[in-house]
Structure formats: C-alpha cells, structure tokens
Structure 1
Amino acid sequence: MSLELMGLVTALAGLFILAAPVAWAFPFMVFSTLFGAAAAISLPMLGGASILVPNLLLVFFTLRVFMATGEGYMMAALRPQSPGFWLLILTLLGIFSAIYFPRVFEGVTETMKVERVTSSRNVIALSPLRFSASNITQAVYALGGLITFAVSYAYFRHLGKPAYLVTAIIIVATADIGFAIADVVTYFTGTEYLLSFVRTANYALLTAAEKGGLKRISGTFAEASAFSEYTLVLFAIITSLWLDRVRSWATGILTALLLLSLLLSTSATALVGLAIVIPFLWIRSWISSASPFTSGRPVFLAGCLLVIPVALVSIFILFPSVGDQVNEFLDMMLLSKADSQSGKERFLWNAMAYEAFVNTFGIGAGLGSARASSFILVLLSNVGLPGFILFVVFTASILSARQPAPSENGAYIANAAMRAGKCGLIALLIGACTSGTVYDLGLLFYLIAGSIAAISLGRAPIHVPKVVHRDVRQPIDIAEPS
C-alpha cells in the first residue's frame, strides 16, 4: 500500500473538513468527484486496485456529518418504503453475489474482466468465471455508494439548504471546464506531464488521442468517454438551473462552455447523450413554463427552434465544404463506430455479458464478475434480473420524489435544485447505458440521489425541550417530619 500525492492532499482536505463548519463538507465532497482518475492510495495486493480521491474523502465527509447529526438521519435514509431502502437491498444483494456467485457458477461461463499482467498494468480479457479482486473492489464501491447516499441525505435533512447543492455543482463545473482547457493546452504544448498528478489510478490512460484533427478532451479522467459522461451530468444540471433562472449569469456562461466542451470532446458518448438530453431539457422547460409557479425561458426556446435550423441550412448552402466535413466527422464518430476496433471490442463485451446472464439462469455472475459496454448489461450480468429490478425501483423512486409545495418557504430554489438534480441523474444514466462498463456509477450519482431524497422532505424540524416556568415567589410547602 502506498500513499500518492493526491492522497496526502485529500487527507489534509479531510482534516480541514472535520474542523470547518459542516456546511463546507458537501461542496468539498462534490468537488472531489472531479478526480475520477486520481489515486489516493494504491493497493498492489488487490491486483493494482486504487482507492480514489473521492473514496478517501468520503471517510472524512461521513465523520463530519455524523459529528453534526448523529446516526439518526443516516438510518432514516434507509427506512422501509423510502428510496434508500431499495438501494440498501440492492447493495446487500450485490455484496452477497460478489462473495458467493463466482464460486457457485465457477467455470459455467466466460466473462470479460480485468486481469493483472504486471504490478503496474492490467488488461481486460475473456476468462472463465471465478472469484477475483474485481469482486472485492466492486463490492466495496457499492457499499461506498450506499454510505454516500445516506450521508448526503443526512446533510440536507440537517441543514435544509438546497442552495448548497447549486453552489457545489457550479464550483465543480467551473473546475471541470478549467481542467478541460488545461488538457488541450498541455497536449499541444507538449507539457502533458503537468496534469500527471490527477491521473495516477491504475487505469489504461487514453489522454493523448486525436480524432478528426481534434484533441480528444479527457480533462482529469482517463479517457474522453469518462470525461464526457461526467461533463454531460454537469451540463444537464447547470442548464436546468439556467432554464429556471437560478444564478442566470453564472449558469448561462457555464452552460455554453460545458456544451462546447462536450462537442469538442470528440466522444460518441457526448454526442449521443446531447441528442437525448437537450430535447429532454427543452420539453421539461416548456412544461415548467406552463406552470404559474415556475418561470422557464419559452421565448428563448422558441427562438432557438426557429433560428438554429435556419442558421444550419444557411451555412451548409453558403459553405458546402463545411457540410462535407461535418458529415465525414459524424460518420467517423457514430456511423463507423461499430466497424472500428473499439466498436468490435465493445460488442464482444456486451455479447459475453448477455451470455453470462443467460448461463447463470438470470441470477447473475456476481458483482464485479463481468464487464460490458452498457450499464443495463452490467446489471443483468452481475446482479441478474433481481438486481436490475431493484435498481429500476430505486431510480424511479428518486425521480418521482415529490416537489415541495410552492407555498413552502424557499420552495422555488428547492424545486429548481430537485429538477436539476433529476436531470443530472437522467443524463448520468444515459451516459452509463451508452458506455458504462462497471456497476460503480461514481459517488456523484449517490450524492445527487441522496440530495433529492432529502430536499423533497425539507429540513427536519428542530425539537426544542419544553421549559416549565414557575413563579419562584410562590412558597413551597415542605412537610415536616413526624
């Protein structure tokens, strides 16, 4: 076990969180999720696995919230009939399956999994089903997700300030754009080593690739698709906030920059995600505009609906070469993707994941036993149909959480934060279903889900002990001993 530089920085940040007001803990935790390829601690004994920066900071985040709230709110997050209860059952199923299923179905099927080649290099290879270090790491990540959900829920039930979610997302979106710019600049100036401190996890790094003459933006992540999945979530949340006129200047600028980052990332995940997320946000804003309690941007949306098609047609007519270049680029990114080496590998992953699901009679091969190129197949091949149903129920219960009544104090910002959070979860699931390879969706998913579950209930009432006042001037009868 070795402590990395980012691990030392994370530990210092964690100590600061313990000493600072509890309100600071959540923004720090959300910010840490940006470092998706930064190892805090390396574990060579577990096949070169890494404890990432967010996972280490989660320990301090949990301690700080526990110091402020105790265990009551955290346990309440997992009570029966609540969204957290379904996540609890899913996590217990996942841990149980990780321990027993690879042994029960050993050799029954083949799966794609990480194989350790050397102490510093792993590869994804097809191998017979057996228990491995991946089962341990994915079970730990699943438990970490459950804890993150419960602690995030406790944080917002205690403070009752949805604005903290808005602030945290704005901060991390700004940093994400900054690292994206730094990634491009360091690539073209030959100074990529300047960002090596945020890429220390034992992952295959694809940070120096080009496509169509553009640098594939990876930011703080190991590859462009991971950057796109993360940035797509931020784009959905920030755009939703802008449509609801929450901090319009900041969210408006960030929306434009995040959209530009996604378009220039040359990631198929980004293009597919935007093709779904943007129409969803457009429809959601129109529906919100019809309500007397919300204020969308119907004029702007109507203008975009009219102006953008006219502008695109005009450009293609006046500059025919532009249309040819765009067509060639889209063909390279999307239409020819299946014929590429990467596309063939991903198809094989999905085929083997489905085969594992069938060969294990729909029960699954165990959490961490199989990889795929779609989160749906990851669920089916790892935790089977029961786990898939539990995840659907959990997600549906979060997305259907009630909005605070408009008459409630602070309801506007709470509603806007909840709508934005739900948009972020939908965007994350779209990205995961497009290219997700493992069960772990990242701690940002559980931070947002826990926030939504808590904000829908508002701040928990503070119980003040009743003080009994007595007139001290009134004489007290004291019986004399007989």
Structure 2
Amino acid sequence: MDLIPIILFWALLLIGMVSRGPFIFYLLFGSMSFGSLAVIPPEITQGLSFTPPPIIALAIIFVYGGGANGLSRILDIALRPSQCLLLFLFWIVAVWVTLFMPRLFAGMVSIIPMRLEEFTTGIPLYPTQQNISQLMYLTISIVTVFACALALRSAATRQHVLGAFCVGGLVVVVTGIVDLVGLGVYLDMFRTAQYAYLTDVDIADVKRVVGLMPEASSYGSLAVSFLSAIYFFRRAIETSWLRLYGAPCLIVLLSLFALLSTSSAAYAGLGVFGSVAAAEWFWRLLTAREGSRAREGLVVEFWVILLGLTAIYLLALTFPALFNPFLKLIDTIIFQKTESDSFEERSMWTAVSLKALIDTWGLGVGMGSTRASNGIVAVFSNSGVVGGLLYYGFMLQTFLRRAAPGDVTGAAILNAVRFYMPPVLIMATLIGTSADFGIMNACIYALAAATAWPGGARAVAPAASHSFVAHPERSR
C-alpha cells in the first residue's frame, strides 16, 4: 500500500520532465503539502526520508542545468556578483565548516543532535551522518536557486510559477479540510516518512489541524508561507480571474487554516503578515498611480477589513461567550507558552547551539551538527559567523533588487518579494532548526534574481543534454 503514492509521485515527476513545460513547477509547489511522504522507501536510504520538494528540485536542476551549455549558464549566475555570488560563497563556507569543524572540535563542544531521539541537555560534538544529509539538503536548495534563476528568466515561466503558488495553497487547504473533518485516515497512506508524528493532538479542547505535515507547527508555517506568497504576488499575476477571484479566496482559506493549526509560530507569522499587509496597503495608497494594478482592490479591501472588524466587535459586545473557546486557545498557546516544557526545551536548544558557536570562536560546528529553535542561530551556529553574514547579505541583496526600467510586472514581483520576506523570516526565527532555507524560499530568491536580471525577459529552454528536453534553438 505504501508503494502506491511513491509510484504515483515518480510517474508525475517523469511527466513533468518529459513534458518540457511548466508542469514541473506546479508539481513542485503542489507537493510541498506532502511533508510526510518519503518518495524513496526509508529502508533503502538507511532511515533518511526524502520528501517530494527536494527530489523535484533535483529534477529541475537536471532539466535546466544538464549539458555544457546549461552548466555554464548556471555557473554564470552563481559567480556573478549581481546575481548569486554571495549565496555561492555561503555554500563554499558551509561545506568547509561541515567537513572540518566537527573533526577539529570533536569532543570539545556541546551540541544538541539533529536526530533527537530523547531529551538531552547536550552531547559532545562528533561527525555524524546528519552532517552529510543536512549539507546535501542545503546544497539542493542553493543549486535550486541557480537553476530556477535561469529557468525564470522567461516572463511566461514566471507567470506559471505565480499560478503554481495558488496550486500549492489550494493543496494546503484541501489536505487541511480532509484532516479537519475527521478523514485523516485517508491521508495515512501518504505518511511513509520515518518521522515522529503529532497528528492527533488537541490543545485547549481544539483539534490541531496538521494536513499531511508531521505536526501542526510545520502545517501552520506552510499555510502562512503560501498565504504571504499569494497575497503579495497576486498583483503580478496576469490572469485576471485568478488575480481577482481565485487568489482572494485562497487568502481567506489559508488564513483560516493557519489559525486552525493552533501553532504559536503560525500565529506569530499571521501577526507579522497582518502588519506587513497593512504597511503594503498604505504603500499602495500613497505611492501607486491612479489606474495602476497596484491600486486595484484598495477600496474593497478597506471595506472588507472595516466591516469584518466591526462585526467581530459587535459580536463580542452582544455574545461574549462565543469568543471564550478562542480566548482560551490564545491563552494556552501564547501566554502560557513560556511555562510549557516544549518552550523550555526549545529555548535550551537555542542556548546550547549559540554557546557552540562561541566555543568554536565563531567558526561554527557544521551543517547538521546542532539543532536550534531559532533560524538565525541555526544559520550562524551551523555555518559560522562568516557563513551567516554571507547568507543574510544575500537576503539583503534580494530585498534590494530592482526591475528593469519600464518592466511593470517585474517591479510588482520584486515589491512582492520585499513584502513576502518578513513574515517568513519571523517564523524561521521562531521555529527554525536548520540552516537550510528550503525549496520554497529558494524559488522566491530565484524569482527575484531572474526578474532583476539585466538581460531582460526572454525564453530560456531547458538544457539539451537529454533526448526528452527541447534544444534551445528549436524552442525559439
């Protein structure tokens, strides 16, 4: 029975590679909700669980980077200062730290292991299999940035990726609905990864929705990530029905299911998202020209928010008991969070990882050596001070990218990138355990790099190293 979803996945991936079209990007974002599906039986991989996104990312790298021409174009992106040189240097530093620091400081530094099988306040640092696996995941994410930065130089492909955001958000909602209505048993066939699952948990008498993710916090964070992407990038979508009707419906549903995840990190992400969305609304009001797409929906959004808040206020005055379960839930997952064993344990992870960075004089302990509960601490402790500065320097470069003059859609995409990043960064800061920034963020970074590419928008075909991939000259 476990082989059925695995076979289905590989069949869809083969179609995506053979089709030579944008289907592989729809498959990529649609698969992000399948966080419990190991597409290679763990018995074969010595317990490692390979979920769909990194495997599909490898396929994208293979399609667009195969052959001498594709490799040279990807290297040009990686080594060009205006594109991804800082990220490439971050990878070089991460590899160096991971290969040498666990051996140089073996037994001298206390860390929290990534494969946490039981409670511990720290164990001595030694090289482990997790160093290689986590370095491999980071490498896939980084090379995905390079490959997608090449693929997304086509304006048409960028539009397909924006549509793929909506497909991914729809899958998040559908899997959440199936779990919410008590049909989670039908999702169990997709839970083939060897994880510790927390799929049937109540908090404050409310069922935590997890969809097809291992736990509620990962589901809630995924919902907020897609919510932020769809909300901010929708103004760059050319298809009017998707921009005006499909995306707003998904925004409402994703907000609801982020709340139903009852994840404190997701709630924090929603709070940051709301603040950034308000800032974006005022930015559009004050700076966008009359008749531009940026001003589209300003009045409707204002009245929807105002009427919604008014309705909540009137209900709170008239029927205050209606809000008691919600207030109890908020009190449990936010105000009592600091008193929970989980909060104390995760705070300890971060403290031990930060001390490991100090004990190695800022050199770091290597990818996969220590687990933190703070994304910033995870990056610096795993890759060292130099690696952390390079990575966050690349994030700043991404934030500051500018579109070519006259490229209205490109400007909308880069504005969306700037507003998308804060909620996701805050969530990673709250629950991030690894320096790997993930495939979704890799695509966002690539989208920004491709949009700001000085060569302008033109079609970029997959490399012609394989018989099922179009030759660049033939695709023009």
TM-score (norm 1): 0.86
**CA 1:25–1:310 in 2, change beyond 3 Å: closer, same or farther?**
closer
Which segment drifts farther, 368-377 or 23-32? 23-32
Counterpart check, 1:229 vs 2:221: yes
Counterpart check, 1:333 vs 2:333: yes
Q: Which residue of 2 aligns with 1:377?
A: 377
1:176 positional shift:
1.2
Q: Determine the C-alpha separation between the residues in 2 that align with 1:244 and 1:159.
A: 11
CA-to-aligned-CA distance 1:92-124 (integer Å, 9 cap, x gap): 2112211111111112221111448xxxxx456
Match of 1:214 among 181, 184, 206: 206
Match of 1:370, SS? Answer: coil
1:436 positional shift:
1.0
8 Å Cα contact 1:115/1:123 also seen in 2? no
Match of 1:287 among 278, 283, 287: 283
The total of aligned residue pairs comes to: 449
1:35 positional shift:
2.0
Counterpart check, 1:257 vs 2:253: yes
Q: Which residue of 2 aligns with 1:403?
A: 403
1:306 positional shift:
4.2
Counterpart check, 1:169 vs 2:169: no
Match of 2:133 among 137, 148, 151: 137
TM-score (norm 2): 0.87
Match of 2:196 among 204, 210, 220: 204
Counterpart check, 1:240 vs 2:239: no
8 Å Cα contact 1:286/1:296 also seen in 2? no
Counterpart check, 1:74 vs 2:36: no
**CA 1:52–1:461 in 2, change beyond 3 Å: closer, same or farther?**
closer
Q: Which residue of 2 aligns with 1:29?
A: 28
Q: Determine the C-alpha separation between the residues in 2 that align with 1:220 and 1:114.
A: 22
1:305 positional shift:
5.8
Q: Which residue of 2 aligns with 1:393?
A: 393
1:443 positional shift:
0.9
CA-to-aligned-CA distance 1:196-243 (integer Å, 9 cap, x gap): 233222211111111122221111210111111111111012122456
**CA 1:164–1:115 in 2, change beyond 3 Å: closer, same or farther?**
closer
Give the partner amino acid of 1:297. Answer: G
Aligned ranges for residues 76-475 of structure 1 at < 5 Å?
76-115=76-115, 122-123=117-118, 125=120, 126-158=122-154, 161-185=157-181, 188=182, 191-242=183-234, 247-289=243-285, 290-292=287-289, 293=292, 294-303=294-303, 306-405=306-405, 407-408=406-407, 411-412=408-409, 414-457=410-453, 458-460=456-458
Q: Which runs of 5+ in 2 are unaligned?
A: 461-471
Give the partner amino acid of 1:459. Answer: A
Q: Determine the C-alpha separation between the residues in 2 that align with 1:306 and 1:31.
A: 33
Q: Determine the C-alpha separation between the residues in 2 that align with 1:127 and 1:262.
A: 35
Q: Determine the C-alpha separation between the residues in 2 that align with 1:389 and 1:456.
A: 22
8 Å Cα contact 1:282/1:301 also seen in 2? no
Q: Determine the C-alpha separation between the residues in 1 that align with 2:119 and 2:435.
A: 16
Match of 2:403, SS? Answer: coil
1:312 positional shift:
3.3
Q: Determine the C-alpha separation between the residues in 2 that align with 1:83 and 1:228.
A: 32
Give the partner amino acid of 1:280. Answer: V
Q: Determine the C-alpha separation between the residues in 2 that align with 1:268 and 1:60.
A: 34
8 Å Cα contact 1:263/1:271 also seen in 2? yes
CA-to-aligned-CA distance 1:126-184 (integer Å, 9 cap, x gap): 32111111101110011101111111111112465421121111111111110110111
Query: Greater CA radius of gyration, 1 or 2?
Result: 1
CA-to-aligned-CA distance 1:76-100 (integer Å, 9 cap, x gap): 2212313411111111211221111
8 Å Cα contact 1:364/1:382 also seen in 2? yes
Q: Determine the C-alpha separation between the residues in 1 that align with 2:354 and 2:217.
A: 22
**CA 1:326–1:159 in 2, change beyond 3 Å: closer, same or farther?**
closer
Q: Determine the C-alpha separation between the residues in 2 that align with 1:358 and 1:173.
A: 40
Q: Which residue of 1 aligns with 2:14?
A: 15
Q: Which runs of 5+ in 1 are unaligned?
A: 117-121, 466-482
8 Å Cα contact 2:101/2:366 also seen in 1? yes
Q: Determine the C-alpha separation between the residues in 1 that align with 2:33 and 2:173.
A: 11
With CA pairs under 8 Å and 6+ residues apart, which has the higher RCO, 1 or 2? 2
Q: Determine the C-alpha separation between the residues in 1 that align with 2:329 and 2:411.
A: 39
- Between Structure 1 and Structure 2, the one with more strand by share is 1
